[in-house]
Structure 1
Amino acid sequence: MARTAGSHSDITGPRIRTAALRLFAQSGFAAVSMRQIAGEVGVQVGALYNYTPDKQTLLFALMDEHMQSLLSAWEEEPKGDTPKARLEAFARFHIRFNLERAEAVFISYMELRNLTPENFLAIEAQRRRYETALEEILSDGVAAGAFTISDPKVASLAIIAMLTGVNTWYRAGGRLSLDQVQTLYWDMVRQMVGAD
């Protein structure tokens, strides 16, 4: 399929994803048309189909890219040797990583319902891998006598929900620095799991 004159795949493709991310976060997946995305990028609507076959594929690509980035970044994050050190690393990492990607985080939670069943299963499997990483930290902490929680799975979901909530209120340049927010939330997580 021929590209539109003047378009460059290494420039236009990322611009399409950036525009779609912003529009989906602002208006919701169902309310955004391919025509709106094309208008935001400054290309004809037909040109979009050189980069994605449809809007569903675009939504999945955005969510998949976010989850792959999250999993890769967590894998590379220094974690420490003890369950407590690993839990602190997770709490600080989650806040820092997600604040830099507020629109992608919003879409990854709010637009799950708009994925096809097959795409939903793929994203859900990636989310489960990330949740399991925290669940394993908590289970290791319980086994070592460092944490006192009765259900590591439920605790991991609660902690992730609490940490993700920072995106709804934190603003750079506000009363608290990012480091202060990470420290406050780490203290709350530490208390939640009964760590000294």
Structure 2
Amino acid sequence: MSRIAGPKGLRTAAAIRRAGLKLIYRHGFGAMSLRDLASEVGIQASSLYNHIRTKQDLLFDLIREHMEALLAQTDAALAAAPDTATDRLRTFIRHHIVYHLEKKQDVFIANFELRSLDAPHYATIVAMRRAYEGKLMAVLDAGVATGEFDIHDTRITAYSILAMLTGVCTWYKPEGRLSKSEIVDLHTNMVLHGCIAQREHALP
């Protein structure tokens, strides 16, 4: 995003990103003006162009950075997980929920402002989303192959799981009666009960 080198330029670019997240989350991309953004950062509107090319590029950069972080951190979490598909699914669920709760503004913008991207930017982000969905599908496919999971359509199952897990962001409140860990455990049990092949014994 930044076009000015040096510590000051990097600090200003980071401040623009934080302000952009806050204003888009609060007012929506269409309602946020570059003048509002500059005022939030404490610089002249004309100075924004030293750091961003257009308002559209700012939105794209925000969503792209979110997706890059999500993909990279998911890869790291799965790489450290045990080999069984069940354990990898547990890991995916925990990472997805915790990441999304900690990045609530990023997630909201990535989901609800995707429609505001122009066609080339939209295509790039959709491809990244498909790559993320593919990671969960691969876990489910592996579980079906080993007999751990009884799933008739892993693609639709993956979409359903992701919708449920991401939906936590819309209602979870830190001051609520359930902790993050309890939310993770609750959703893990729901997903696993829907995926694991029936055995003589219940889930551990």
Match of 1:93 in 2: 95
Match of 2:120 in 1: 118
Match of 1:52 in 2: 52
SS state at 1:79 partner? coil
SS state at 1:175 partner? coil
Q: How many residue pairs end up in the alignment? A: 192
| Bigger Cα displacement from structure 2, 95-104 vs 168-177 | 168-177
Match of 1:194 in 2: 196
Shift of 1:192: 1.9
AA aligned opposite 2:24: F
AA aligned opposite 2:34: M
1:37-95 superposed Cα distances (whole Å, 9 cap, x missing partner): 00111111001100001000000000000000001111111221101000000000000
SS state at 2:173 partner? coil
| Bigger Cα displacement from structure 2, 61-70 vs 71-80 | 71-80
Match of 1:43 in 2: 43
Match of 2:129 in 1: 127
SS state at 2:150 partner? coil
Q: How does 1:165-180 map to 2 (within 5 A)?
A: 165-180=167-182
Shift of 1:169: 1.3
Match of 1:142 in 2: 144
AA aligned opposite 1:10: L
Shift of 1:194: 3.2
1:117-167 superposed Cα distances (whole Å, 9 cap, x missing partner): 100111111111110000010111111111111110111111011001111
- 5+ unaligned residues in a row in structure 1: which ranges? none
Match of 1:30 in 2: 30
- 5+ unaligned residues in a row in structure 2: which ranges? 198-202
SS state at 2:167 partner? helix
Alpha-carbon distance in structure 2 between the residues aligned to 1:185 and 1:31: 35
> How large is the RMSD of aligned CA atoms in angstroms?
1.4
| Bigger Cα displacement from structure 2, 102-111 vs 143-152 | 143-152
Give the TM-score, by structure 1 length. Answer: 0.94
1:81 partnered with 2:83 = yes
SS state at 2:30 partner? helix
How high is the sequence identity, in percent, across the aligned residues?
42
Match of 2:200 in 1: none
Match of 2:12 in 1: 12
Match of 1:103 in 2: 105
Alpha-carbon distance in structure 1 between the residues aligned to 2:37 and 2:139: 41
SS state at 1:8 partner? helix
Alpha-carbon distance in structure 1 between the residues aligned to 2:81 and 2:101: 20
Match of 1:61 in 2: 61
Match of 2:187 in 1: 185
Alpha-carbon distance in structure 2 between the residues aligned to 1:192 and 1:108: 28
Alpha-carbon distance in structure 2 between the residues aligned to 1:156 and 1:146: 16
